[in-house]
Structure 1
């Protein structure tokens, strides 16, 4: 892994699947694109459509090299109206909540991008969670005075911070993102416009792509799915469970991620908000977003995923960061499942009823993955979800890590670098997922229910 070369990350816009290059640039705030490996988002007239990974020779036109790789995969892509947006209908008034703790430099970068949104009616709210200094407060009140509201929440925990944000929200919809993202200018409009078109919609999630791929840890994470859920729009409806997810709605990792989600406020209120015993900053280590997804679906609301709503995420950079994240994946998964069953015991029969089909589905997928990774049958290099509960994807505390969605329909797989649209593949010789990380995930899964119990006791003590 130490030999992994850094990749440039770029944003390429084409006029049509076989049309001209409209624009080509580095990701927002990123360094110039240089010769070598380049990972690029491909848009069609501004709409995210695919990703490509290619090698740009010295002196070559990087935009044309990447466009040539993308075009064969885009021939069946439509050029219709923006998915999920009702023509002529304005998106609802929205409050954007950014929960943060002692990361003022990153927060400023995120807020700058959020202030550039094209949404016609929104406000920004920063929730300073259990701060030890006044850096965040000073940043918001001085640099962003009158443009960003500041709220302090002294009880640690991401779910608590999110609930505080909801309590102070003035919008009909509340959107959440993290302090380590840069939001596309159309992000908020794309994320919230679907609520105007569908009164049963309770939640919308969006696309998360890497802002940097310069360290081995960042490249390894993106190689195994990252946080992306592909480019195909999808609606999850509890009245019409998806046939390809036997454990629905408990496969929360496939729905989206906490860095890019929005809820109708009345839907969150109907389910009691986020579980305060989950989330980063609590002994549970995560699961707050996943719990909210399942709770909203279980209450009868729909959930929509749209790639139109895009944020660029700054992945953690070091090997130790990735180790912590892997442990958090497992802990967050079982903590959220524990929270669902503790707070909503009526869902237990539904989970038990789905387990047999989930086991069959898990065996089929595992066999396919092993065969693809190791034709000789030796195995030995499982993906990030190795050892995970049947049919349930292992997910991190604040983002869904979903290896099975790395090859969802929208991802182009050009004949460039190893025929991949992400920098590597599950178990490939260049970017194998280390057994040590799989072991950490399994240890986290064992710990998750214990962590949730500790967090629940702590929450009761605080009250």
Structure 2
């Protein structure tokens, strides 16, 4: 048996899940609406993974099984109410739960309060040879309810004219186009920064569908907090049709939960001993925004990081830490939602695991190369941070490397404190790949730096 076949056997045979969103009038209230996720198939019998909104506000995800003759809305509402009660009980008893899964209070009805005007925004989408996916993303971006924004596509090292033809044809006059011939996501993002006109620069990927309120929710905090340098938002799966997609989402996916959180370097969070170096907990590059002036002041993204370079990633993590280490705040706001199309195959998942490992240590290398003054802080925090990481790993994997403790065996609800709804054993081969990637990260970053020097005129 080949190595690929052997490790592929670790992927469980999981039936597809429908993805939906349900809106309730409060935790114990009536169902206001139920609909498939944007671009998803109609709901029917079988497993359903649903975003639960409370009066329009994202509050949780649940997993339920809808049988023939059952009302899907009532089944999902019942699963959420049961989980909500468990979460409230755990929080009331003072038990340790991950901050990203704490029960969030429902905002009470209140009179409209005057809010500062939203800053002008630019949405930057870097892409390479994925015109069909890009069109889907652009349609959702042009439907945003933000009053003043620019959409800018950066065509990164193209080999055909498909992206340019799409933008300058179908989206002429509505979407701006720039070419970046040097490959690399960070380089493409820096090209977007140079061409952007907004006070706030939002970044997303070509494989997302943005909620209509996404840009407003992502940029609103900048108007209220002059010390804010960055915001991130909620990322949920657009489809869960393959075992690889389901496995990724069952282990947290890209989501950081439903509780807004402010990261302030003047008041470091007590539950993150390695702050601000735990950048992966802040958000992801598919859903982030920066105050343009702040991003420029830290030099933008490191061009030797990111997809398309030997560093494979870490460009977003680098930017988060640079902004925080410069004294600016970062806010996670779950009201800013995008639906992400996860990679579909086992090989995709293997590549992703390895790339995560490479990107993690590559971004740390980039920080220490460009900001060596951060090294004493990292060394000082490392022992406590590693102990904390081991405790989190033990909680998630369990004593035998199996499912998250408390995960329901029948897949009809959620484990208290877990994002998603059901945990499946994480293949050990993926953990090994990630560790191998971590060893390669510093070398990958240095290779990318040498390539960048060689590509300069």
- Describe the superposition over 1:190-209 as per-residue Cα deviations: whole angstroms up to 9, x where unpaired: 00000000000000000000
How far apart in 2 are the matches of 1:361 and 1:23?
A: 41
Q: Does 1:51 align with 2:78?
A: no
How far apart in 2 are the matches of 1:291 and 1:53?
A: 34
| Counterpart pick for 1:35 among 41, 45, 60 | 45
How far apart in 1 are the matches of 2:255 and 2:390?
A: 24
Residues 362/237 of structure 1: CA separation in 2 closer, same or farther (3 Å cut): same
Q: Residue 456 of structure 1 aligns with which residue?
A: 449
Q: Does 1:447 align with 2:435?
A: no
CA contact (8 A) 1:39 1:52 kept: yes
How far apart in 2 are the matches of 1:188 and 1:18?
A: 29
Q: Residue 346 of structure 1 aligns with which residue?
A: 373
Structure 1 residue 361, shift from structure 2 partner: 1.8
How far apart in 1 are the matches of 2:69 and 2:222?
A: 47
CA contact (8 A) 1:381 1:434 kept: no
| Counterpart pick for 1:432 among 416, 425, 430 | 425
Matches within 5 A, 1:61-460: 61-74=71-84, 77-80=104-107, 87-369=114-396, 373-374=398-399, 379-381=400-402, 417=412, 419-420=414-415, 422-425=420-423, 431-460=424-453
Structure 1 residue 418, shift from structure 2 partner: 5.9
- Describe the superposition over 1:43-70 as per-residue Cα deviations: whole angstroms up to 9, x where unpaired: 0111000000011111211011101111
Structure 1 residue 381, shift from structure 2 partner: 4.9
How far apart in 1 are the matches of 2:308 and 2:113?
A: 38
How far apart in 2 are the matches of 1:438 and 1:447?
A: 14
Stretches of structure 2 lacking an aligned partner (at least 5 in a row): 1-10, 89-103
How far apart in 1 are the matches of 2:402 and 2:279?
A: 25
Residues 223/175 of structure 1: CA separation in 2 closer, same or farther (3 Å cut): same
Structure 1 residue 437, shift from structure 2 partner: 0.8
Structure 1 residue 33, shift from structure 2 partner: 1.0
The DSSP-based 3-state class of the residue aligned with 1:124 is: strand
Q: Residue 22 of structure 1 aligns with which residue?
A: 32
CA contact (8 A) 1:53 1:414 kept: no
CA contact (8 A) 1:117 1:188 kept: yes
- Describe the superposition over 1:378-424 as per-residue Cα deviations: whole angstroms up to 9, x where unpaired: x25599xxxxxxxxxxxxxxxxxxxxxx99xxxx9898526446253
CA contact (8 A) 2:414 2:420 kept: no
The DSSP-based 3-state class of the residue aligned with 1:324 is: helix
How far apart in 1 are the matches of 2:69 and 2:306?
A: 47
Q: Residue 391 of structure 1 aligns with which residue?
A: none
Comparing 178-187 with 15-24, greater Cα deviation is found at: 15-24
In the superposition, the TM-score normalised over structure 2's length comes to 0.89
Q: Does 1:12 align with 2:44?
A: no
Structure 1 residue 460, shift from structure 2 partner: 1.1
In the superposition, the TM-score normalised over structure 1's length comes to 0.88
- Describe the superposition over 1:151-192 as per-residue Cα deviations: whole angstroms up to 9, x where unpaired: 010010000000010111101000000000000000000000
Stretches of structure 1 lacking an aligned partner (at least 5 in a row): 384-405, 426-430
Aligned residues: 425
CA contact (8 A) 2:305 2:312 kept: yes
Structure 1 residue 86, shift from structure 2 partner: 7.7
Q: Residue 99 of structure 2 aligns with which residue?
A: none
Q: Residue 428 of structure 1 aligns with which residue?
A: none
Residues 56/114 of structure 1: CA separation in 2 closer, same or farther (3 Å cut): same
Structure 1 residue 366, shift from structure 2 partner: 3.8
The DSSP-based 3-state class of the residue aligned with 2:145 is: coil
Q: Residue 397 of structure 1 aligns with which residue?
A: none
How far apart in 2 are the matches of 1:8 and 1:98?
A: 27
Structure 1 residue 448, shift from structure 2 partner: 0.6
CA contact (8 A) 2:401 2:426 kept: no
CA contact (8 A) 1:338 1:449 kept: yes
- Describe the superposition over 1:325-373 as per-residue Cα deviations: whole angstroms up to 9, x where unpaired: 0100100000000000000000001101111221332343344445xx2
How far apart in 1 are the matches of 2:75 and 2:309?
A: 46
The DSSP-based 3-state class of the residue aligned with 2:316 is: helix
How far apart in 2 are the matches of 1:353 and 1:41?
A: 40
How far apart in 1 are the matches of 2:322 and 2:403?
A: 31
The DSSP-based 3-state class of the residue aligned with 2:332 is: strand
Structure 1 residue 457, shift from structure 2 partner: 0.6
How far apart in 2 are the matches of 1:161 and 1:369?
A: 36
How far apart in 2 are the matches of 1:341 and 1:203?
A: 21
